[in-house]
Amino acid sequence: CRRELLEVIEPAVSDPTVKIAIQMLENVLRNCAERSAHEIAWMRDESNLMVGYARDVKHSVGSTPEIDAALAAYDAGDNTSLDLDAVSDSYSRAGECLSAAIERVFAVGNTELHLRGRDILALRLANEDAIKGEWAFVGRG
């Protein structure tokens, strides 16, 4: 679709407003392609890191009711299906595990676990940036 838009349709269009619309559509298609190619794998990998981190926090510096509840909710859910809705739900539950664990780490002041939590957050941000890709503001300078 992207190639068709850029190589066939856009050259045949002379209206600048329509050309901008074509470029905007190409941006959306490029980002969808990147996301669909990797998103499930990224969410699974991140989920494993987040839940593993929460379990390590629990065993290293002690648990909290929030960590226990988040881990129980994660364990009770579907964490094996590759259906996007199931993966998204699992990812959300894993995020709760991470959040509860980071709160505990801040409360006890454990530097090593704090840095490890920051690394997980940095990975999540890098994956989000990859999903956004080379987003361009079309029709501008």
pLDDT values of the chain reduced to their tens digit, one per residue, 141 residues: 888 998 999 999 999 999 999 988 988 888 888 778 788 999 999 999 999 999 999 999 999 999 999 999 999 999 999 999 999 999 999 999 999 999 999 999 999 999 999 999 999 999 888 777 666 666 655
pLDDT value of position 81: 95
pLDDT value of position 118: 97
In this structure, the number of other CB atoms found within 10 A of the CB of residue 7 comes to 9
pLDDT value of position 117: 97
CB 129 within 8 A of CB 38: no
Q: What is the pTM of this model?
A: 0.79
pLDDT value of position 36: 80
Quote the CA–CA distance of 7 and 138 in Å, as a whole number: 17
Q: Name the residue among 122, 117, 70 with its Cα closest to residue 96.
A: 70
